Copies of this chain bind each other. A is one copy, B any other.
Amino acid sequence: MPLHVVVADAIRERIRSGDLAVGAPLPSESELSAQFGASRGPVRQALAQLRNEGLIETSQGRVPTVLGRPLAHSIDDFFSFSAWVQATGRTPGQHTIELAWRVPPAEVAGKLQLAASDRAVVIVRRRSIDGLPAMLERSWYISEVGRRLFDFDPDDGSIFGALIERGVPLDSGTHTIDAVAADPLDAEQLGVPPGSPLLRVERLTTSSAGHVLEYADDRYRTDRAKLAIRNSRSTSAVSRPSVARLAAPVLQEGLPA
Binding site for B on A (CB under 8 A): 22-23, 48-49, 52-54, 57, 67-68, 74-76, 78-79, 113, 170-181, 195-200, 204, 206, 208-210, 212, 220, 222, 226-234, 237-243, 246, 251, 255, 257
Contacts and interface: CB of A to CB of B under 8 A. Distances in A.
A257 B241 CA distance: 21
B23 A233 contact: no
Nearest to A57: B208
B176 A233 contact: no
A226 B180 CA distance: 12
A172 B75 contact: no
B206 A257 contact: yes
Contacts of A228: 174-177
9 contacts: A49-B238, A57-B208, A75-B233, A172-B230, A175-B231, A176-B226, A178-B220, A231-B243, A241-B241
B257 A212 contact: yes
Contacts of A173: 229-232
B75 A231 contact: yes
B23 A210 contact: yes
Given A23-B209, A76-B233, A240-B242, 10 more contacts: A54-B172, A75-B231, A78-B231, A170-B233, A171-B233, A179-B200, A195-B195, A204-B257, A231-B243, A240-B240
- Counted per complex, copies of this chain come to 2
Contacts of A113: 257
A196 B181 contact: yes
A93 to B, nearest CB: 21
B174 A229 contact: yes
B176 A255 contact: yes
A172 B232 contact: yes
Contacts of A199: 177-179, 199
Which of A229, A230, A242 gathers most chain B CB within 10 Å?
Answer: A229
Contacts of A171: 232-234
A180 B199 CA distance: 8
Contact of A67 (B172, B212, B232, B238): B172
Contacts of A195: 195
A23 B209 CA distance: 7
B177 A226 contact: yes
